[in-house]
Chain A
Amino acid sequence: MSKKIIMGGNDAIAYAVRQSYVDVVSAYPITPQTSIIEKIADFISKGEMNARFIKVESEHSAMAAAIGASIAGSRVFTATSSQGLLLMHEVLHWASGARLPIVMANANRAVAPPWSIWAEQTDSLSQRDTGWIQFYASNAQETYDLLFLSFRLAERVKVPAMVCMDGFLVTHTKEPVEVFDNEISEFISIKEKREILDIDNPKAYGALAFPKDYMPIKLEQNDAILSASNVFNDIAKEFELISKRHYAATEVYGDSKADVAIIATGSIAEVAHIAVDNLNKDSIKAKLVKINMFRPFPKKELQEALKDVEKIVVFDRNISLGKGGIIKDEVAGSLGINNIIGFVAGLGGYDVTEQDMEKATKDVLSGKVKEDSYLWGEK
């Protein structure tokens, strides 16, 4: 039987990792993430968790070790925050490019300088192009649940996944969390078959790809990440049968016929519930559209949730310096002015010729291409 225990987001992550049949944990401490890996190390040393803990000298090495273990077929977890995540940046691409279903918790913390240990999402949002699935949890229960969902999702689509949570406001704020007993075992023990390192059948990893090979590999990776939207809904349904808790890429709270939508993620999305209630009391028809999954970006869900509103107000606990709030920009890009079409072109040095561009432009004008596309394979 599940039971409610008072715990913070970090505790909840550690408990979920303990229950997730994780084989390897490789991590380096950093505030406000440290209590996750302290607790996991404690579980392992007490024999409550049968996993190997790899101590490393930096976050870059933490991810490198995670990659090695994952290629060897292990289920791998790591956790980091802020500067640590930034130090991992290069290897984040290696993990996703090798299609390794590593799961990571990130405690969202502002980036230095000046030094700060407090909440901000610029650290993980600036990793949005690394090919990782990204979730943003608003409370400790969500961190716990999303960790299980992340393993299943990552392993199904062969894309690594990150569960992000605001430092202190989610990681250390303690509240009742419903913790499973054995009822989650069947759900989380499912491991997908995948290509792993086999010493009897050696293969090379990380080979050079010429332009004609690079671009299709990247597009395949992109398709895999995009497919995570639908796959997530399937896995979330399975999870709901066990937990009675519903998860989706976005969720809507408040007046369904709202004139104004508030968009937020993480801890701000929690507070927004109160703001929406108060606005509704003031006879302002408002609703909250909470973004739980940022990669793949929930474009369709947002288009649906925002189609009838007059105004949209976005609260971004992050900043793209020289531009502004990152989520506001991404939402605006998804709703789209309808006279702009984007082509992804020339990845990995693939040639982009004037003929390609002329044809693409004509296809847009004739209406043959109606939405964002790739410029590829037409030479």
Chain B
Amino acid sequence: MLPLVSLTLFLPLVGAVLILCLPKPTARTVHGIAITSAALTLVGALAMWLQGVSSEGFSQVEELEWMPAIGAAYRVGVDGISLPLVLLSAVLFLVSLIYASSLRDRPRAYVALILLLETAAIGTFTALDGILFYVFFEVSLVSMYFMIAGWGHEERQRAALMFFIYTLLGSLPLLLAILGLYLGSPDPTFDMRAWIANPPLEGAAAMWALIAMLITFAVKIPAIPLHTWLPAAHVQAPTVGSVILAGIMLKFGTYGLVRFALQMTPDAFREAGIVVLFFGVVSAIYGAFAALAQTDLKRLVAYTSVNHMGYVIVGVAAAALTLDPAVRATALDGAVLQMFSHGLVTGALFFLVGMIQERARTREMGEFGGLLKTVPLLGWFFVLAAFASLGLPGLAHFPAEFQIFLATLGTTPIAVIVILGIAIIAGTFLKALRETFMGEPRDRWSEMPDLSPREILAVAPLLVLTVATGVAPSWVLDVIHRTTSALVL
């Protein structure tokens, strides 16, 4: 039996090492190697998908002794919560590398960073050991920092710095929480499965650990008021950086919220659930309003992420608050599917905004008009992605948000006001579509070329998956539901 998870996990790293070891490779070779290793990673992730998950605990677990004296080991595996995120990572990194394949400015370092980031991302989602998780969590941070600082736009240094300090300081509390869980375990271990099966902390200790985790994950998700780094980072980040940042790295926060906060300190989370719910609702509504005020397309998409991630927080909080296992399963189904859908849809949106920026050197909505006429393929792709993002049925966000709201009403009826967010986001995207893509085409942009094959290859798979997830969500939900329906808190 092949160690599928480890293979999938380290294939990108192997690609990165290979690229760095080759003496003076051409850009073509570099991109070829990168795309090949990402494609093989996707094959690995698909093989993992075919293996599937069982309803109890983790599947496809691989373990190697590492530091037996302190109970840390190399442990990886997946369940219905992490497997969709692994698949999402494999898809998004592959299309990102396809998109980046035209890059001629220091391509070696750039794609090596992307590949390193892919290993870190898949590692974060598959790690079953506290230390291992933390290492992957931090490594991703460093690679993203260098991507923004090295290949971003005008004010990249400042944005990268902000991103770095924010998220680094943000992740220190998690380290303390992990230590707390470790020290609290009766038989000290970093095995996350043990922490989940028998939550080691109780009472005030559990609450402190939860607060520490919530700070870390709130920065990462990001939740109001710890979200300030996000628009700044997105505006300056290169397109691929934005796609990965929004598509994958925000999920570290929400994934941690489920895996750590909910599963390892469930009682404390239930007590504090109403507070978390409150922050989720505020994030979702505030993010929607902030998006509505934007005139810069990229900032607009960045703020819709705050809104969509707010729904995930609401879903997880509802799962913590409810006593009914069926409602909890619905809430978590929605929250996990929302992470998956957001990766696809926001990934596509950031690609499309990046494509506009590369052509026009601006992202101000007011400077455009009638782009549907000028660049029809780009325009209609954007329309599709925008309607997906505003939660239209038949597209990926609808089933997720439906389940989140349904569970919320079943738990804390008043919190269902969060649904106002979907009307505000609708207004946001309608305004953007009207000003950018509809109306009279401007002469200024009449020479603008439509999508190239490379760009189509980057964005079309995401849109196809968006439709597939919206029309027949069961292909993802079956996997998620197997775990969430058997979850004991």
Verify that A and B bind, or say they do not: no
